[in-house]
Amino acid sequence: MNEAEARLEIEQLRRAIERHDHLYYVLNRPEITDEAYDALMRRLAELEQAFPHLITPESPTQRVGGAPAEGFATVQHRTPMLSLNNAFSLEEVEAFDARIRRLLDAETLEYVVEPKIDGLGVSLSYERGIFRQGATRGDGELGEDVTGNLRTVRSLPLRLQAPVSCEVRGEVFMRKEDFARLNARREEAGEAVFANPRNASAGALRQLDPRVTATRPLDILLYSIAFLEEDTLPEGWSVPTTQAQVMELLRALGFPTTQHWQLCSDIEAVLAYCDRWQNERSALPFEIDGVVIKVNDLSYHERLGSTARSPRWALAFKFPAQQAISVVQRIEVNVGRTGVVTPLAVFEPVQLAGTTVSRASLHNEAYLREKDVRVGDTVVVQKAGDIIPEIVSVRLDLRPADSEPYRMPTHCPDCGSELVHLDEEVALRCVNRNCPAQAVEGLVHFASRNAMDIEGLGPALAEQLVKSGLARGPGDLYSLTWEQLAQLERMGPKSAKNLVRAIDASRQRGLARLLYGLGIRHVGEGTARDLAAHLGHMDALLSATEESLQALPDIGPRTAQSIVEFFARHENRKMIEQLAEQGVLMSAVAEQTQGSVLTDKRVVVTGTLSSLSRKQVEELIRQHGGTVTSSVSRNVDFVVAGASPGSKLTRAQELGIPVLDEETFLNMLRGENA
C-alpha cells in the first residue's frame, strides 16, 4: 500500500469511527457490534503505525492519552465562565421571574430548563470543526489547559458534524453506575475510594497523566455556545437567537446534550419542571443537585447583562440535600473475595431516596480514622449519587461520654490469619488463600448475573456450600448433584434440581463472563470482554506474558501483571482444568445482532418481570440487536413493563410509546425464531 492509498483509507476509517461514536454516545443508537467497532479501530491503528506521519490530534486513536505533563498551562477564556445565582425554594424562583419581567417590562417570559449536573464545568474550542483546546473553569477568567485529558472522554467529539469554529461550554461527570463500579474496583484493589462522582470526575480531569484519565469512565454534556464564528456555519444553517436553538445547534454539530431539557412557556411550567425532577432525580443515570433556568430569548441576555460573578438571565434552583439522622449500633468487618477487609457501620434503619438503608461502608482503616465513626455515634447519612449509602458526618455534640475510637481487627474474623497491608495499600487484607470468607465471596461473584448468572446461588447458599465442604471454588460447582444439594438447610428436591439446571446452563456463558467470574484483580467486565475479543480462547491467556497482554488495547502494566500472576498459580490452573473437564466453554461467544426484530430499536425495561430477571431481559434485547436505555424519551421505540413499573410507564403513555407486557415481548422474540 502506498501513502496515497493509506491516507484515503485512514480518512475513511476515521469518518466511519466518528460516525459510530456519534451514534453510540450522542444518539444512543449503535449500528454495529463492539467487535466490529474494535476491528475498525485496530485497522486504523495498524495504518497509523505504518504511516506515523499521517497521525493527527483528532484521530480516534489519540483518545488513549499522551505522555504525562509536568503541569497545566493557563488558558484565558474568550468570555468569562460565570457562576449561577442560587435559589433554594420555589418562591425564590418566582421572585427571579418577577424581577426579570420587571427589568424587561414583559408580561411573561419563555425559559429553557435542564437538570443541573453535579460535575465539573469545562470550555471547549473548535477550529473549523476540529477540537483544539479544552480548559477547566478555574476562576472564571483563567482556567487550566486539560486538552489531553478531555481527548480521552469518549462522548466528546474530536471532529464536529460541520466545519464550524466555536467555543462551547459543558459539564464533565460520571454516571452513577460507572462511579459505583469505579469505587468497587478501587476498594477491591485496596485503593482509596472517591467520596462522590463530582470529586472522582474532578480528580480524573486534573490528572497530569492522560493515560490515567483514560481509565476513568468520564462523560460530558454540552449546554451553551460562548462564541460562534458565524461565517463558518454551513449554508442554510442559522445563527441561534434562542437558548432552545442553541441546544438544537449543539446537537446538530454532534455534541452530546441532555435529552431532559425543556422549553417552558411561563414560570408555572418552570415550577412544575423543578417539582418533577426534585421528586424523580433518582431516575436519572447521573447525579444532579438542582435545575438550571435560563431566559430563552438570547437578545434578553444582552439586555440583562451580568454582575461580576453571575448572569442576570439565569438561575440555579438547588434541591435540598437528601439526608437522614441515625445512630450507629455496631461496626462490622467484611472479608471480600480478594481478602480486602472492609469496615461497615450498621445503624438504625432510615428512609433515603425511596429505600430503607441500615448500613454504610467505611471503606478502609484510613477512612475510618478520618471520619472517626464510633459505636453509639449519631450520624448524618445520605446516598452518594442517590445510590450508595454513606456517612457524611458525626454529630460530635451528641457523642456519648464513654465512647471509644473503633480499632480495626489485627486478625481475620473468619480464619484467624494475621491481616496485612500489601504494597503500601490503604486496605487491610487477609492473605490466606483458604479463608472461608473469601471462598464464599468468590462463589457469589462467580454466580452473579454479570458473570456466570447462576440463579439461586446467593450468599446464604454459598456459605452453606463452603461450610459443608461441597464446594470451595467454582470448579466444584459443576459436579454437584441435586441429591447432595437437597441435604442442605432450606433446600428441597425441587430447589436443588432448579439449581443444578442453572449451573448446567451456565456452562455456555463464554470466555468473557468466565474471566470476569474468576475474580482476577483489575479485570472488570469491560477488560474481560476485551480479553475474550482479542484472544478468543482460555489457552491464549494461560500462555500470555505481561508484554503480550500490554500490547492489547487498554491493558496496562498492573492489569497484565495481575493476569499473569493469577494464571501462574498452580491452584488456579488446576481450577481452569477442572472447569474445562466439566464442559465449561473456554472460548468467546459471538452474539447474534443483525437482521433481528429488535435491530436498531431502543428499549426501556421497567418493573418486575415474572419469568426473567432484569439482566436476562436486557441480554435478550442486546442479542436481538436492540439497545437498552434507562430513561423514556421520544427516541425510545417501546417499553417492556412488568409489575410495579412506576413513572417510566406513565411517561411512555404520555409520549404515546408502545408498551409491551412480558408475554407479548417474549412472543415477539419467539415469532422471530419460529
SS3 375: coil
Q: Are 462 and 476 in contact (CB under 8 A)?
A: no
Positive or negative, the Cα torsion across 634, 640, 645, 649?
A: positive
Return the C-alpha cell found at 34: 463492539
Positive or negative, the Cα torsion across 560, 565, 568, 572?
A: negative
Q: Which residue has the cell 475479543?
A: 533
Q: Which residues pair with 175 in a beta bridge?
A: 286
In one-letter notation, the amino acid at residue 530 is D
Please give the Cα distance from 90 to 387 (Å, whole number).
26
Residue 574 known to be catalytic: no
Neighbours of 519 (CB within 10 A): 21
Q: Are 288 and 117 in contact (CB under 8 A)?
A: yes
**DSSP one-letter string for 152-178:** T-TTS-SB-SS---EEEEEEEE-BHHH
Q: Which residues pair with 53 in a beta bridge?
A: none
Give me the helix-helix angle, 90-104 and 267-280, nearest 10°.
150
Q: Name the catalytic one among 116, 176, 383, 648.
A: 116
Return the C-alpha cell found at 657: 410509546
Virtual torsion, Cα 30, 36, 38, 39, nearest 10 deg = -150
Please give the Cα distance from 260 to 255 (Å, whole number).
15
Distances in whole angstroms, Cα of residue 244 to Cα of each of 110, 235, 249, 327: 10, 20, 9, 48
Q: Are 287 and 118 in contact (CB under 8 A)?
A: yes
Give burial (CB, 10 Å; 0-12/13-18/19+) of 471. buried
Order of all β-strands in the sheet with 627-628 = 627-628, 602-606, 638-641, 659-660
Positive or negative, the Cα torsion across 559, 565, 568, 569?
A: negative
Q: Checking phi first, is residue 376 left (phi over 0); if not, alpha (psi -120 to 50) or beta? A: left
User: How far is CA 503 from its chain centroid?
Assistant: 29
In one-letter notation, the amino acid at residue 534 is H
Return the C-alpha cell found at 264: 417552558
CA-nearest of 324, 372, 316, 319 to 347 is 324
Q: Which residues are catalytic?
A: 116
